[in-house]
Amino acid sequence: MRWLKFGLIIILFFGAVYAVSMTFVDENKSFTIEKEINYPIDKVYPQFSNLQNFTRWNAFFSDNKNMTLQFFTPYAGKGSAMSYRDKKDNDLFGDVFIRYENPEKTLKLQLFEGQKNMPYSIDMKFIPQNDKTKVIWYIHTPKQPLLKRSLNLISEDFWVDNIDQRMKNLYKILGNKVDKEIQRENIKFDSLMVEQQDNQLLLGINVTTKNVKDALFKNIVINHNKVFNYVKMDLGKKEDEYGEPVLITDADNFKDKEVSYFYGIPISKKEGLTDNNFSFRTVNSSTYYVIFYEGNYAGRVKAIQQLLTKAKKDTLRIGDLQQTFLEEPTADSKTVMKLSLLVYK
């Protein structure tokens, strides 16, 4: 009993010492971090002002495979916002807001962690230096209760280390130095995003086939091989001269007994065709709702329905659905794809 009392006294003593020591630690902290990146400001700034871009190279989001993201209009610049949540850790969630921007000059973000009412305030300044850009972070941490102020003693080191890694990731992305495997690792399969896609020239084939059980996907595999063989063998295209295959079809035809689609491969320019079964198709620059999907081909329907629901909620009209195969479709029906729904007012 004596030892128990003695132990409690020791615990209380050190607890009191800790509490007193925390009165000498600031309840919040402000610090500045400066970094330079070897790319011009017109390339760098959109990676910060567009939260979808921001999450692709920010290790906090891209390295966590359980993290789901949701983005809100206007998706870039002042007023845009996002929420994040870890599917396996109920305590890891939060929101990010862009409160102010002066394009290519300054940006103000707020980060709310969990249910905390006090955010991290992050002011950023962008300074062009010829073909380089200096980025300055002014970080203000939220107020901490007395017994948690020790977090402020390590917060600056934590931010410095993380920003170092993030800037390295950004440099790789801007320089296109990330191979496909690394890019795939950063994909968020459950997050709906908005993209402005550029013009694209496709060489492919028009198809109509039955939509019964596995018949559709088997037909896709057959036509994938036809198009790829023509591009590589007949036209002599090398791997770096064409893009990832795209299937274009009606967005809501997944319940139809028969479907029509165009299956094509992106190439840089038109050239003479020796086979009348193939044709060119131009996809104009436009806005798309996008979601990534991995799994059995038939399971893509749920992801497509998410896109359709989002468009309806936002009172937008819809166009074609693009299914970009990030891995070549094979007979086992396992797919990794990017689903893009054309939307407009």
3-state secondary structure 194-237: EEEECCEEEEEEEEEEECCCCHHHHHHHHHHHHHHHHHHHHCCC
Burial of residue 117, with CB atoms counted within 10 A of its CB: 0-12 exposed, 13-18 middle, 19 or more buried: exposed
pTM for this model (two decimals):
0.61
Find, among 329, 62, 36, 45, the residue nearest to 178 by Cα: 62
Tell me what pLDDT residue 153 has.
Answer: 44
Which CATH number does the domain 25-191 belong to among 3.30.530.20, 3.40.50.1370, 3.40.50.10860, 1.10.230.10? 3.30.530.20
194-344: CATH, from 1.10.20.140, 3.10.180.10, 3.20.80.10, 3.30.365.10: 3.20.80.10
Strands (E), the chain: 30-37, 67-72, 81-86, 93-102, 106-113, 120-129, 132-140, 193-197, 200-210, 246-249, 258-266, 279-283, 286-296, 317-325, 334-344
Low-confidence ranges of the chain (pLDDT < 70): 1-28, 143-160, 175-186, 240, 332-333
> Residue 178 has what pLDDT?
44
pLDDT of residue 262: 96
pLDDT at residue 315, as a whole number: 92
What pLDDT does residue 18 have?
Answer: 40
Each domain of the chain, given as residue ranges in start order, spans 25-191, 194-344
For position 256, what pLDDT does the model report? 85
